[in-house]
Structure 1
Amino acid sequence: MGQDGRGGGVAARTLARVALLAAAAVLVVLVVAVGKAGLVVVGAGLVGLVVCAVGGWWFLAYRGVRRLFGAAVAVAAPVAVVVLFTVAGLWLTALVLGVCWAATLACARAALRRSDPRRTKRARRAVAARRPRRAVLIMNPKSGGGKVGRFGLVERAEARGARVVLLDPAAPADVAGLARAAVADGADLLGVAGGDGTQALVAAVAAEHDLPFLVVPAGTRNHFALDLGLDRADPARSLDALTDGEEVRVDLGSVAGRAFVNTVSFGVYADVVQRPEYRDAKAGTALNVMPDLLVGAGGRRLDARVGEEVLSAQQALLVSNNPYASPDVLGGTGRRPRLDTGELGVLGIRVESGAQAADLAVRGSQSTGLTVLTAGRVEVTSGATSGEGARDVPGEGGRDIPVAVDGEALRMPTPVVCVLRPRALRVLLPRDRAPAVVPAPPVDWRRLLRLAFGRTPTPS
């Protein structure tokens, strides 16, 4: 029986009860079995986490001796905690507590995921697609370190009846212009083998002409393909959609009239990717400029209106085409459960000291340094640096600010407006593909208790 049926409900309730039992085991180990030792384990662990976060902040925000000291502190803190547990004979207690707490979180998230029909049902309803007769695929041979050649994508696409437009690695290309020329020549499908930035340009043309769009994940990360359930390890599998495919409709983002399929970044990340040296030395460039951006006079602060909410003096703002399941997107591991909710996801970050970094490390999304919102419209109304007193005036043409659109470095005049075009893009997918992974939801203890004791929790 499926997860949305009775069997799924029983499994969710069982998992919820196991999660509560594991949580109770944590309390037993803390209070009864080991007494003060359990409190030492928890206290030492929290102190280690806080000190590590502060050291990490110093490493990012400063140069010279303070950076070296921060790196040493960030490394030494967890090492010191492990040494303490070993010397004091608390390693077994720490291990038991860690296992019980990990089991609690794993079972709780699994229970909540199974019990929420919005997460367990297939969000994007696929319909049978007719085979395209004049498919045109644009391929970037440099993308992803040469995946087009490595996987023989040109030959495989042509064997399935598609016409391939191969970009010249030595010359800049008007990708959107090539797509429009293909439409004028009678194309009934547009596709791209490349990164997310190139995907977005061609997707905009496909949506404009209501043509199906084929995603071939031949870029470096391809987050859009990941959230569509495509196999990024074998981009050639996407070409099967040309002969045996089905179609889904997803939302398409727009920032100042330019399409995006994943994210638009303002602030720290957008400033970093503007640097000419970033492409050849990403980590080195980021470390070199971070002190200026985080605490120096060059740090940009952003004001934005997110729906009816107002965010002030943010260091970074990330707007996504549909919300991510958790703020893990900051580390590049986030997932979007759906691409058709009609809402933008918004993450705002403001961390200006080691104490705020520690608060973020301990409290996560509950920290005052991290704001998580959804909205239909986002307007970035200011891009002043911390050394400037002037603010852009909402509704009037402002100064240009750096913007990273699906990883592409651009500049746009403020106010910069992000919106969604609901279900504007028709995506052709191979019928034989892995089911999309549903990300684990955050733990809501009240919902978990209602589920464990026989009541169906209301979706949050």
Structure 2
Amino acid sequence: MGGTDTGGAGDGTPADDTRAARLLARLAVLAAVGSLVVLVLALGEGGLVVVGAGLLGLVLCAVGVWWFVAHRGPLRLLGALLLFLAPAGVVVLYAYDGLWLTALALCLCWGFALLCARAALRRSRTEKPQKATAAARPRRPVLIMNPKSGGGKVGRFGLVERAEELGARVILLDPSAPADVAALARQAVAEGADLLGVAGGDGTQALVASVAAEHDLPFLVISAGTRNHLAMDLGLDRNDPARCLDALTDGEELRIDLGDVSGRAFVNTVSFGVYADVVQRPEYRDDKAGTALSLMPDLLLGDGVRRLDSLVDGAPLDDQQALLVSNNPYFSPDEISGGGRRPRLDDGELGVVGIRVEDAAQAADLAVRGSQSSGLTVLSAHRVEVTTADEGEIPVAVDGEALRMPTPVVCTLRVGALRVQVPRDRPGVVAPPPAVDWRRILDLAFGRTERTAAR
């Protein structure tokens, strides 16, 4: 895939994509109708039991998750049992009553319908790829590398040697002596650097990106961190960070937005509330899951409960347990912590996700209704201002780094502030699967492409 390909509407001509999208939409409609036919034919054979048992199993799993996360002692144990017993009970019920064939047919029909629907919507999208311009070869590039990042990727992939072969000066951080990375970047600029780059985590990337944006210098991302969210959304190779260095000799430039949280840059996300409280603990780095399970009951229901109030473009969003603000919206709120993607980094908008779940019933509602649940708020905005009731300073996680900031904490975007230099030949950004909108599917299936394209 070419460097500027963002995985948009497909690989053929627009007419080919339209025909393929229409065919896939019709298959999706047929499969959805097929699932209804299976259900109607099976009414006398327990079809409604199949659906009801499946929904009940989902609700019980959500309740189990809530009890396991938000409580200690017997309720936590009961929650763990529910997580195991609820799906097992559904399977046993299907097998005992002879309903497993009906359940399998429903799952296959509905799964095929969703698969075709997502493929149809992906084919019908006409997103323009982010514009890339030719980049001159830098004469004095300076790269800052963290040898501990990503479990030692700098050494494992020979990044120092490869960078120096390409004419870059490498500043290798000393893991035993924490350094002011932004100060190192500013010193490099003062000494004549015409490109700044980082091999490290997203928090380190953000610090150096801020200096690059301040001096309008190209910024090079080397995917040597653990998750490399920014590298993923730029279409870089996360499996071989050495390929990112090709940008020094055969590169192109993208203009992207840079997040700002009360004067500090961020490239991915700023988290407030529960997650921000957890990452403040020193033991979190060594035992993430254990620390979270230990603290969650107090943070959700106990003495450590904190409620966040915010203004999202001036509109109040109050009483949230957790709030996440991202540099451009993620495609889907449930993908943020699981490797989800941002379709673009140059749209000039913040993504905002607020969560408020206070009991098992609300957890079940969130599991069943997803983004339609009252416990989840998904918005986009240009400015987010976060406060709490009686606190002058609150925990904030900026690209995963634990900080404390005085309230109000204000999140904005520096639109188009960052010049990112990327290799011309890179894997590219895989388009995330679209949310299924059956009205759009029907439009496609019956040829109303103009209406669909306008959405």
Aligned residue in 2 for 1:403? 396
Aligned residue in 2 for 1:52? 61
SS in 2 for 1:29: helix
Aligned residue in 2 for 1:299? 305
Partner deviation per Cα, 1:260-301 (whole Å, 9 max, x = no partner) = 000000000000000111111111100000000111121111
| Separation (CA, whole Å) in 2 of partners of 1:258 and 1:43 | 50
Q: 2:133, 2:254 within 8 Å by CA — same for their partners in 1?
A: yes
Q: 2:349, 2:382 within 8 Å by CA — same for their partners in 1?
A: yes
Q: 1:4, 1:114 within 8 Å by CA — same for their partners in 2?
A: no
1:265-284 equivalences in 2 (<5 Å): 265-284=271-290
Partner deviation per Cα, 1:47-68 (whole Å, 9 max, x = no partner) = 0000010011000000011111
Partner amino acid for 2:114? L
| Separation (CA, whole Å) in 2 of partners of 1:216 and 1:320 | 21
Partner deviation per Cα, 1:339-364 (whole Å, 9 max, x = no partner) = 00000000000000000000000011
| Separation (CA, whole Å) in 1 of partners of 2:337 and 2:369 | 17
Shift, 1:114, TM fit: 1.8
Paired residue for 2:441, among 438, 444, 448? 448
Aligned residue in 1 for 2:296? 290
Shift, 1:329, TM fit: 2.9
SS in 2 for 1:229: coil
Aligned residue in 1 for 2:227? 221
**Which range is displaced more, 99-108 or 166-175?**
99-108
Shift, 1:374, TM fit: 0.1
| Separation (CA, whole Å) in 2 of partners of 1:404 and 1:344 | 16
| Separation (CA, whole Å) in 1 of partners of 2:298 and 2:276 | 14
| Separation (CA, whole Å) in 1 of partners of 2:115 and 2:331 | 15
Aligned residue in 2 for 1:346? 352
SS in 2 for 1:345: strand
| Separation (CA, whole Å) in 1 of partners of 2:280 and 2:12 | 46
Does residue 207 (structure 1) correspond to residue 213 (structure 2)? The answer is yes
Aligned residue in 2 for 1:388? none
Does residue 105 (structure 1) correspond to residue 114 (structure 2)? The answer is yes
| Separation (CA, whole Å) in 2 of partners of 1:216 and 1:151 | 11
Paired residue for 1:66, among 50, 72, 75? 75
Aligned residue in 2 for 1:40? 49
**Which range is displaced more, 344-353 or 328-337?**
328-337
| Separation (CA, whole Å) in 2 of partners of 1:2 and 1:276 | 48
Aligned residue in 2 for 1:387? none
1:252-267 equivalences in 2 (<5 Å): 252-267=258-273
Q: Aligned in 2, Cα 1:261/1:459: closer, same or farther, shift over 3 Å?
A: farther
Structure 1 residue ranges, 4+ long, deviating more than 3 angstroms after superposition = 1-4, 33-36
SS in 2 for 1:187: coil
Q: Percent identity?
A: 73
Does residue 246 (structure 1) correspond to residue 252 (structure 2)? The answer is yes
Partner amino acid for 1:157? A
Aligned residue in 1 for 2:168? 162
| Separation (CA, whole Å) in 2 of partners of 1:16 and 1:112 | 8
Shift, 1:33, TM fit: 4.6
| Separation (CA, whole Å) in 1 of partners of 2:411 and 2:106 | 45
**Which range is displaced more, 215-224 or 35-44?**
35-44
Task: Structure 1 unaligned segments of length 5 or more: list them.
Answer: 383-390, 393-397
Aligned residue in 1 for 2:4? none
Does residue 332 (structure 1) correspond to residue 329 (structure 2)? The answer is no
The structure, 1 or 2, with the larger RCO (C-alpha pairs under 8 Å, 6+ apart) is 2
SS in 2 for 1:210: coil
TM-score (normalizing by structure 1): 0.94
Partner deviation per Cα, 1:178-234 (whole Å, 9 max, x = no partner) = 000111111110000000000000000001111111000111111010111111111
Q: Aligned in 2, Cα 1:297/1:335: closer, same or farther, shift over 3 Å?
A: same
Partner amino acid for 1:376? H
